[in-house]
Structure 1
Amino acid sequence: MTLDYVIGVDCSTTAAKAVVWSSDGRALSEARSTFETLQPRPGWGEQNAEDWWSATSAAVRRAVQTVDTSRIAAICITHQRESFVCLDAAGKPLRPAMLWLDTRATAEVEKHGTEEVHRITGKPPNPTPAWYKLLWLAEHEPETLDRVGKVVDVAGFLVHRLTGEWTTSWASADPMGLVDMATFDYSDDLLRAVGLDRSRLSELRAPGSVLGTARDDVCTQLGLPPGLLVVAGVGDGQSAQLGTGAVTPGRAYLNLGSGIVSGTFSETYSYGREYRTLAAAVPGAYTLETFLGGGTFNLNWFVEKFSGVDTRALGLDLTPEQVLETAAAQLPPGSEGLLALPYWAGALTPYWDHHARGILLGLTGVHGKSHVYRALLEGIAFEQRMLTDGAEHALGEPVTDVIVLGGGSRSAVWCQIIADVMQRRVTVVREPESTCLGSGMLAATAAGVHESVSAAAEAMSGTACAYEPDDGRVPTYDRLYQVYRDVYPANRELFARLAAVTS
C-alpha cells in the first residue's frame, strides 16, 4: 500500500481549510469552513474555540471525500498565532478564546513589557502575545485563571481533539510569548508572573515530530484511515515561509494578505525591535518576522468606503480592485506627489506604536481615486522596504529574493511596484495555499514521504512568475523613499497627542 498523500490544515482567523497534498505539492482536494469572530468591545477579538474544531472537522471530512484515503499518511495543522483558549479540567472552554488581534492588554504591555521579556521571548512589547492578555485576565477575570485546567494555543486545542493528548509544537506555542526562545522551552519566570505552571499547558515537541495517532472515533467521524499520524505543525507565518521554500539565507517570504507579514530565515537566535523572532519550521532555527497590520485591509477599506466603483452595474466581469488597479497603472511612480503612511491598523515593527494612524500626505486638487489607490500600494511597498532592510541588517547578509503569496500576489501592478521600491527580485509562488502547503511538507517529512524538511520544501514548492526592478523607475522610488521614511518620526508625537484627546 502506497502512503504518499498528506493532509495540511490551516485553521486561520476566519476559517479552517484542509488540503490533501501529493508528494510533489499538488493540491488533490480541498475544502473550507468558516467561523465567526466576535468583537464585544472596541479593540477586543474573541472566538468560540469549539468552532475551531467544528470547522476543521467539516473541512477535513469534505476534503477527503474525493481521494483514496488509504494513501493518506499523516495530518498536520498550521493556525492563527497568539490566539489561545482557557479550558476547564474537562477540556471545555471557560470563556471565549482571545485572539491575536485583541488589543485590550495595552496597560499590561506598558507595565510589564520589559527588555528582559523581549530578550526571553523574542517579541517586542505589544498587545499581540498571549502573555499580556493572561496578565489582563489575572487583573480583570481572576476567577477564570483560578478554574483553568489548560491554557492552549489553537494547534494544542485541535491536536487534543484528534489524539486525546495535550501536546503542541514549540513553534505553535512560542508566539504566545511563554517560551524561552534560546531553549524552545517554557519560561518558568513568565509562567509564574501569570500564575500558571507547566501542568496547565501543552507539552512542547519539535516541529515535524509525530505527536500521536488520530483516535479511532475521530477517524470514523472524519473519514480518515485508522492510525493516521498527527504531526506537530507551526504557526501560519512560519508555515508560509516553509511552503514558499524560503528556508535558506538570502530569501524572504512576503504574504500580501489583510496584514503584510514577511519572514527571513536564521540559524541563530537574535532579537530586536525591527522584527519579532519566532521558531522556524526547521527545528532549532528561527524566523525573523516583520508585520504590518494594514495590507489588503487598507485596499478593501478604500474600495468599500470611498471608491464608488460598482462593476456589476457597469456589466464588467471584474472586481473594483481590478478597475482601480488598471487606472492606477496609468499613473507615474509616486502618484503625482501623494504618499500614504499605511498605519490604518497601527504600527508594529519597528515602532510598536498602537497610537499610530494612517496618513495621506501631499493631497492636491489633481488627485483622484486612482492616485489614492496607487499611493496605498506604494506606501505598503515603502514600508516593506524599510522592514526588510531592518531584518537584513540584523541577519548581516543581503536578502536578494522576495517570494510573495496571498491575495495581493495576484496583482501584477502591485508586485512590480514592490520590486521597483524594494530593489529586489519578486517571485510569485505557484501554489496560492502555500501556508497550508507548509503543514503538508511537515506531514510528508514525518511520514517518510521525504527524507527531510529541506527535501520536502524542494520537492513540493515552486514559483509561477517573477518581477525584476525596472531601472527607469528605481531612482524615482529611491528619492520618494527618503521622504517616506521620515513621515512617521515627524508625526509620532502628534499621534500620541491625538490619542490622548480622543480616548
Structure 2
Amino acid sequence: MPRGDLVIGVDCSTTAAKAVVWNAHGVALSEARSGFELAHPRPTWAEQNPEDWWTATRIAIRRAVQTVDRERIAAICITHQRETFACLDRTGQPLRPAMIWADTRATEEVQKYGTPEVHTVTGKPPNPTPAWYKLLWLAAHEPETLSHTASVVDVGGFLVNRLTGEFRTSWASADPLGVVDLRTFDYAEDLLTAAGLHRDQFADLAAPGDVVGAVTEAAARETGLPPGLPVVAGVGDGQSAQLGCGITAPGTAYLNLGTGIVSGTFSRTYASDVRFRTLAAGLPGGYTLETFIGGGTYNIRWFVEKFAGVNTQMLGLDLSPEQVLEAAAEMLPPGSEGLVALPYWTGALTPYWDHHARGALIGLTGVHGKSHVYRAILESLAFEQRFLTTGAEDALGEQVSRIVALGGGSRSRIWCQILADVMQRRVEVVKEPESTCLGSGVLAAAAVGIHPSIEQAAHEMTGTARVFEPGDTDVAAYDRLYAVYTTIYPALRELFGAMAEAR
C-alpha cells in the first residue's frame, strides 16, 4: 500500500516551474508557481541557468505543500521542457548556460550530420531542436566545455539529481535530446561517439513511471518534502500532456493549443517519417507521434499586439482584446469572406521542415478588416492541423477520430468549433487546465500503487469538460477551402527561398 493518497506533479517549463498536489481522482488540491529567466545572448541563441530550474522548482514545491498534510504525499514526479540540456562538472555544477530547445545555432551541424540514418534511429527529422546537434556544435566551438563535462542531463534528470543525488532519468526524458535509439530505448553509441562523448557521461535510463530514487535529507529541507519520498521517472512535457489527456491507446490525439501547437497520437509500434517526430511515450514501450506548428497562439498574439488596436479599457469593457475580436470574427462566414492565411510566422516544421517559409495572407481586398484577419488566422491553424493529422494518419494507417484539446487556446469557443468543423472530428476540451502537469501525477500515482497501472491512473484521473461536434453546413464550406489551402505553400516554396537569398 502507498504511504499516502496524494502525489505531486512538477512541470518545469521554459518559463517557470509549477508544482501541483493531486489526489487520486486528478483533482488539484494545491499548486504554486515560480518563474525564471530566458536569455538570448545572440540572435539564434537561447540559454538558461540550470540552477534557476532547481531554485524555481524547490520554491514551487515548498509553497504547494504548505497547505496539505505532507504525510499523505506518496510520491513526486517531474515533467519538463524537452530537448534542453545542461553540461555539468564532476561536482554536479553547470559548466555553461543550458542550451534550450529554442536555440537554433546548430544549423550547419544539421546540414552536415542530419542524415536519414539518424532520423531512422532517433525518430527526429533533421532540425536544430534536438540537443545532439548542439552537442556537435559544442564539440566544434567549445571543445573545452565537453572535455570537462562529467554529465550531460535533460531538465528532468537535473532535477532528479537535486532531489535524490542520483543521475537517473527516464528514456522518455532523454529521448528528445536526440541521443536515444528508439528501437531499443537505450543510448545510440554511434551518436554519442560522433560528439566525442560516451554513455558514462549521461544519466542512467529507467522506464517512465519507475521509482528512480528518494528525496534526500538536504532536498527535504529545501523543498519541505518528507525525506525518503519516492521520486518517479517522468517524461517530457508533450508526452506528459498525452497522459494528462487520458490517452493510452491509438485513435485519439491531444492538441496543445499553446504558443506553438503540438499534437500527438499514441502508437504501439515504432515508425519514423518527415510528417511527424517520434518520441518514447509515457506508457513504457509505446510511442508518441507528434506534429508541430511553430506559431500557434504566438500568431494570434502577434496580430492582437501589432495590428488589432483594440483597447478594451477605453471602451469600458471587462474583456480582453481577443474576446472582442472573437465576437466579431464569429459573425463572419467560413473562409473569412475570401481571406486565407498561411500560418508560417515562425517557419514550417512538420512535414516541410522549411525554416525559410513565412506567413502570408491571400485574397486581401478592401472589404477585409481586423475581424477577417483574426478569423483567417484561426482558420489557417485549423487547416494546417488537418493537413498534419491527415499526413500522420496516412503514414501509419491508423485513423484519429477524437481530438482532446488543452492549452490556452482551448479556452476559445470559436476556435475549438472551427477546429471541429475543419478537421471533421469531435473536439473535447480537458477539464483540468494543468493537464501537462497532471501527466506526472498519473505516473506518480501508478508508481506507488494508488492505481494499479498507468492506464488505470490515466482513466481515473483525467477527463474532458466541453465537446464540439462538426457542423453540417460549415464542414462542406471548409472542405472546399481546405483544397485551396493545401496548394498555397507548394506554390510559394520557391519564392520563400528566393526571398531568403535576396535578404
Asked whether the two chains share a fold, i.e. TM above 0.5, the reply is: yes
Moved >3 Å (runs of 4+): none
| CA–CA separation in structure 2 for the residues paired with 1:31 and 1:301 | 29
Q: Which runs of 5+ in 2 are unaligned?
A: none
Residue aligning to 1:490: 491
Residue aligning to 2:168: 167
- Please state if 1:187 is matched with 2:191: no
**Pair 2,155 (structure 1): closer, same or farther in 2 beyond 3 Å:** closer
- Please state if 1:154 is matched with 2:155: yes
Residue aligning to 1:395: 396
Residue aligning to 1:207: 208
Residue aligning to 1:305: 306
Q: Which moved more, 1:70-79 or 1:212-221?
A: 212-221
| CA–CA separation in structure 1 for the residues paired with 2:430 and 2:334 | 26
Residue 66 of structure 1 aligns to a residue whose secondary structure is coil
| CA–CA separation in structure 2 for the residues paired with 1:355 and 1:284 | 36
Cα displacement (A) at 1:43: 1.8
Q: Deviations over 1:27-50 (max 9, x none)?
A: 000001111111111121111111
Residue aligning to 2:372: 371
Q: Deviations over 1:150-184 (max 9, x none)?
A: 11100010000000000000000000100000000
Q: Which moved more, 1:35-44 or 1:423-432?
A: 35-44
Cα displacement (A) at 1:286: 0.2
Residue 389 of structure 2 aligns to a residue whose secondary structure is helix
| CA–CA separation in structure 1 for the residues paired with 2:475 and 2:418 | 10
Cα displacement (A) at 1:494: 1.3
Residue 287 of structure 1 aligns to a residue whose secondary structure is strand
Residue aligning to 1:451: 452
Residue aligning to 2:429: 428
Q: Deviations over 1:368-412 (max 9, x none)?
A: 110110000000000000010011122212100000000000000
Please give the TM-score of this superposition, normalised by the length of structure 1. Answer: 0.99
| CA–CA separation in structure 1 for the residues paired with 2:453 and 2:191 | 34
| CA–CA separation in structure 2 for the residues paired with 1:296 and 1:395 | 28
Q: Deviations over 1:82-138 (max 9, x none)?
A: 001111111111111101111111111111100000000000000100001111111
- Please state if 1:56 is matched with 2:57: yes
Cα displacement (A) at 1:489: 1.0
Q: Which moved more, 1:81-90 or 1:233-242?
A: 81-90
| CA–CA separation in structure 2 for the residues paired with 1:132 and 1:147 | 19
| CA–CA separation in structure 1 for the residues paired with 2:423 and 2:364 | 24
Q: Deviations over 1:431-477 (max 9, x none)?
A: 01000000000000001100000000010001101000001001110
| CA–CA separation in structure 2 for the residues paired with 1:365 and 1:260 | 31
| CA–CA separation in structure 1 for the residues paired with 2:231 and 2:395 | 35
The residue type equivalent to 2:348 in the other structure is A
The residue type equivalent to 2:489 in the other structure is Y
Q: Deviations over 1:260-298 (max 9, x none)?
A: 000000000000000000000000000000001100011
| CA–CA separation in structure 2 for the residues paired with 1:84 and 1:4 | 33
Q: Deviations over 1:281-334 (max 9, x none)?
A: 000000000001100011111111111111122221111111111111010000
| CA–CA separation in structure 1 for the residues paired with 2:341 and 2:97 | 36
Residue 473 of structure 2 aligns to a residue whose secondary structure is coil
| CA–CA separation in structure 2 for the residues paired with 1:303 and 1:160 | 42
Residue aligning to 1:478: 479
Residue 473 of structure 1 aligns to a residue whose secondary structure is helix
Residue 183 of structure 2 aligns to a residue whose secondary structure is coil
- Please state if 1:85 is matched with 2:86: yes
Cα displacement (A) at 1:226: 2.2
Residue aligning to 1:101: 102
Cα displacement (A) at 1:220: 2.2
Instruction: Please say if residues 215 and 226 of structure 2, whose CA atoms lie closer than 8 Å, have aligned partners that are also in contact.
Output: no
Residue 199 of structure 1 aligns to a residue whose secondary structure is helix
Q: Which moved more, 1:388-397 or 1:65-74?
A: 388-397
Residue aligning to 2:16: 15
Residue 291 of structure 1 aligns to a residue whose secondary structure is strand
| CA–CA separation in structure 2 for the residues paired with 1:364 and 1:39 | 39
The residue type equivalent to 2:343 in the other structure is P
- Please state if 1:384 is matched with 2:385: yes
The residue type equivalent to 1:494 in the other structure is L
The residue type equivalent to 1:346 in the other structure is G
Cα displacement (A) at 1:495: 1.2
| CA–CA separation in structure 1 for the residues paired with 2:501 and 2:197 | 35
The residue type equivalent to 1:4 in the other structure is D
The residue type equivalent to 2:259 in the other structure is S
| CA–CA separation in structure 1 for the residues paired with 2:42 and 2:498 | 23
| CA–CA separation in structure 2 for the residues paired with 1:333 and 1:218 | 55
Residue 29 of structure 1 aligns to a residue whose secondary structure is strand
Residue 19 of structure 1 aligns to a residue whose secondary structure is strand
| CA–CA separation in structure 1 for the residues paired with 2:43 and 2:30 | 39
| CA–CA separation in structure 2 for the residues paired with 1:500 and 1:195 | 34
- Please state if 1:67 is matched with 2:45: no
The residue type equivalent to 2:332 in the other structure is L
Cα displacement (A) at 1:238: 0.3
Residue aligning to 2:322: 321
| CA–CA separation in structure 1 for the residues paired with 2:395 and 2:232 | 32
Residue 336 of structure 2 aligns to a residue whose secondary structure is coil
Residue aligning to 1:463: 464
Cα displacement (A) at 1:2: 5.7
Please give the TM-score of this superposition, normalised by the length of structure 2. Answer: 0.99
Residue aligning to 1:406: 407
Instruction: Please say if residues 211 and 230 of structure 2, whose CA atoms lie closer than 8 Å, have aligned partners that are also in contact.
Output: yes
| CA–CA separation in structure 2 for the residues paired with 1:488 and 1:33 | 41
Instruction: Please say if residues 121 and 183 of structure 2, whose CA atoms lie closer than 8 Å, have aligned partners that are also in contact.
Output: yes
Residue aligning to 1:222: 223
| CA–CA separation in structure 2 for the residues paired with 1:236 and 1:366 | 42
Residue 485 of structure 1 aligns to a residue whose secondary structure is helix
Residue 472 of structure 2 aligns to a residue whose secondary structure is coil
Residue aligning to 1:124: 125
| CA–CA separation in structure 2 for the residues paired with 1:494 and 1:118 | 28
Q: Deviations over 1:2-49 (max 9, x none)?
A: 611000000001110000000000000000111111111112111111
Residue aligning to 1:273: 274
The residue type equivalent to 1:170 in the other structure is W
| CA–CA separation in structure 2 for the residues paired with 1:439 and 1:256 | 19
| CA–CA separation in structure 2 for the residues paired with 1:312 and 1:169 | 48
Q: Which moved more, 1:135-144 or 1:75-84?
A: 135-144
| CA–CA separation in structure 2 for the residues paired with 1:395 and 1:403 | 20
The residue type equivalent to 1:93 in the other structure is P
| CA–CA separation in structure 2 for the residues paired with 1:137 and 1:354 | 22
Counterpart mapping for 1:357-368 below 5 A: 357-368=358-369
The residue type equivalent to 2:74 in the other structure is A
The residue type equivalent to 2:152 in the other structure is V
Instruction: Please say if residues 214 and 231 of structure 2, whose CA atoms lie closer than 8 Å, have aligned partners that are also in contact.
Output: yes
The residue type equivalent to 1:463 in the other structure is T
Residue 465 of structure 1 aligns to a residue whose secondary structure is strand
Counterpart mapping for 1:31-50 below 5 A: 31-50=32-51
